[in-house]
Amino acid sequence: MYALLPIEEMAAQVVLHVMLEILVIGVGIVSYRYII
């Protein structure tokens, strides 16, 4: 049986958080371009 280590769980959360931030920044840039 394989159990996630706390470090791996933290790494997964960090990756998800970074991907979410990149997505938000990308949407912000697109919106900024459309406004201007």
Question: According to the model, what pLDDT value does residue 1 have?
Answer: 47
Assessment of whether the complete model's pTM goes beyond 0.75 = no
Average per-residue pLDDT for the chain = 87
Enumerate the domain spans of the chain: 1-36
Question: According to the model, what pLDDT value does residue 36 have?
Answer: 74
Exposure string for 1-36, b = 16+ CB within 10 A, e = fewer: eeeeeeeeeeeeeeeeeeeeeeeeeeeeeeeeeeee
Average pLDDT over residues 14-29: 95
| C-alpha to C-alpha distance for 24 and 19, rounded to whole angstroms | 9
Question: According to the model, what pLDDT value does residue 2 have?
Answer: 60
Average pLDDT over residues 2-30: 89
